[in-house]
Amino acid sequence: MFVRLVYESFRRQKRSKLLAGAAIALGVTVATAMIAVATDVGDKINRELRSYGANLVVTPQDDTLDVQIAGINLKPPSDGAYLDEADLPKIKGMFWRNNIVGFAPVLPVTVTVNKGTAKNVTLVGTYFAKRLRFGNENFVTGVRTTYPLWKVQGSWPDDDSRDVLIGEQLAAALRAKPGAKINIEGENLQVTGILSTGSTEDNEIVAPLSLAQQMLGKPGVVRKVYVSALTKPEDAFARRDPKTLSPDMYDRWYCSPYAQSIAFQLQEAIPHSHAEQIRQVAQTEGTILTRIKGLMLLVTLAALFASALAVSAAMATTVFERRREVGLMKALGAGGLAVASFFFAEAALLALLGGAAGFAGGSFLAYHAGRWIFDSPINIQPVLLPLILIIAVIVTFAGSATAILRAVKFDPVYALRGEG
């Protein structure tokens, strides 16, 4: 009998049930899409921000050591220590090697440029698109991977050539154009392109690393290595000192793609090195991610609240139209619990149907939203379906509670007379 009453309710009140179900489905669709995006947005944004450059820098360990006595720094002045270029491919042997988007060594050298008058400028040696090998793996890395937003008017030099790029501001001062020759340290070198980065490189010459090593007179060395890595947003656990962690906690920290743990592994891979975050980049990523997730949470709550209001209106109409039926049930001895369970059963069935439809709609929306915004689809995991259905039931019950409470309190005498 109970099941038949619920069935008849849906059959006779198709319009109101359809409107309530649509409201639930729309709210759950938005919630599903936002949850799906939120679970994947960290990686998507991280990949987008990696186009702006490196987020880790590796320097010689000796540069971090200060010798002070009575507050006086006794470290002798020098151009700093160097890293061994031969150690760089070892980066692809670390635990989080697949999270390394690319890396680019740099070696700055002060050189004299003769263009009418002699002028001292900085020449920076680096990789452009260098082919390297580690074990059985071949890979390509350099500034073209690490800094994909760098713009070159002309063409990129080859890493095995003696060609150079000139920053756009320096090129304007020297009146240099792509294809021109420029005299550096008494040698005429060809300018293949004009570089625009919006940073210090606009006033520098960027050349193959081997050329900078030759001009410095120190083959096989690099000054720094800039690394672009996909990382997990920083939290309190990420900031803990690994030396103070228990073995189990250390394994968890080491096997999490925090910037700190990847930096730690870079130090293990490259001997006598020190790696750290580029703090400004890391803080920007965390701020952007926090704000986007906050906005998504606000949109989700607003959608669910609107859905609950729509369900409340639909359920209030349903209860009002069926007040005589409720009065008859109570006159025949039905208690408040029986009446409430009847309406809650309707609400639960409506929630499950609307929730399932909303899950399908939200999955479709999330998939295409990922393609439109990030040019990469977002796939929701089926394991989220129970959570989505629970949310749908909670929202539906919350919206129905007031109307059902009113039905429980109906006086059967007035209800049977059509007064409510």
> Per residue, what are the HEC states of 314-379?
HHHHHHHHCHHHHHHHHHCCCCHHHHHHHHHHHHHHHHHHHHHHHHHHHHHHHHHHHHHHHCCCCC
The Cα–Cα gap between 5 and 349 comes to 13
Among 277, 306, 340, the domain-final residue is 277
Give the CA distances from residue 339 to residues 326, 403, 410, in Å, rounded to whole numbers and listed in that order. 7, 12, 10
41 and 61 belong to one structural domain: no
Given a contact cutoff of 8 angstroms between Cβ atoms, the answer to whether 399 and 315 are in contact is yes
Of 132-136, 145-149, 270-274, 375-379, where does mean pLDDT reach its minimum? Answer: 375-379
Given a contact cutoff of 8 angstroms between Cβ atoms, the answer to whether 360 and 33 are in contact is no
Looking at mean pLDDT, say which of 85-89, 339-343, 368-372 comes out highest: 85-89
Given a contact cutoff of 8 angstroms between Cβ atoms, the answer to whether 37 and 299 are in contact is no
Q: Which residues contact 22 (CB under 8 A, 6 or more apart)?
A: 354
222 and 181 belong to one structural domain: yes
84 and 207 belong to one structural domain: yes
Under the banding of pLDDT at 50, 70 and 90, the label for residue 314 is confident
Tokens found for residue 256: 């999490």
Count: domains in the chain: 2
Q: Which residues contact 295 (CB under 8 A, 6 or more apart)?
A: none
**Which of residues 191 and 291 earns the better pLDDT score?**
191
229 and 90 belong to one structural domain: yes
Res 70: pLDDT = 43
Residue 276 phi, psi (nearest 5):
-155, 165
Q: What is the mean pLDDT of the chain?
A: 82
Give the CA distances from residue 107 to residues 15, 26, 42, 208, in Å, rounded to whole numbers and listed in that order. 73, 57, 33, 10
Residue 211, classified by CB atoms within 10 Å of its CB into exposed (0-12), middle (13-18) or buried (19+), is: buried
Element (H, E) at 403: helix 385-408
77 and 108 belong to one structural domain: yes
Query: How open is the CA angle 277-207-231, to the nearest 5 degrees?
Result: 20
**Which of residues 223 and 418 earns the better pLDDT score?**
223
Residue whose tokens read 């760098």: 150
270 and 290 belong to one structural domain: no
Could you tell me where the beta strands, DSSP code E, fall in 135-208?
Answer: 137-141, 151-154, 164-167, 181-184, 187-196, 205-208
**Which of residues 262 and 318 earns the better pLDDT score?**
262
Under the banding of pLDDT at 50, 70 and 90, the label for residue 299 is confident
61 and 94 belong to one structural domain: yes
237 and 109 belong to one structural domain: yes
Q: Which residues contact 351 (CB under 8 A, 6 or more apart)?
A: 24, 389, 392, 393, 395, 396, 397
140 and 246 belong to one structural domain: yes
The Cα–Cα gap between 183 and 114 comes to 5
Under the banding of pLDDT at 50, 70 and 90, the label for residue 80 is low
Average pLDDT in the 327-345 region?
A: 68
Res 77: pLDDT = 43
DSSP letter at 223 equals S
Among 226, 256, 277, the domain-final residue is 277
Q: Name the percent of the chain lying above pLDDT 70.
A: 77
Among 277, 311, 331, the domain-final residue is 277
205 and 327 belong to one structural domain: no
* pTM, two decimal places: 0.65
66 and 15 belong to one structural domain: no
Under the banding of pLDDT at 50, 70 and 90, the label for residue 327 is low
Res 159: pLDDT = 95
195 and 290 belong to one structural domain: no
Res 418: pLDDT = 52
Res 362: pLDDT = 87
Alpha helices (H) along 86-208: 143-146, 168-174
Range(s) of the domain holding residue 125: 56-277
Helix (H, G, I), strand (E, B) or coil at 267: helix
Helix (H, G, I), strand (E, B) or coil at 177: coil
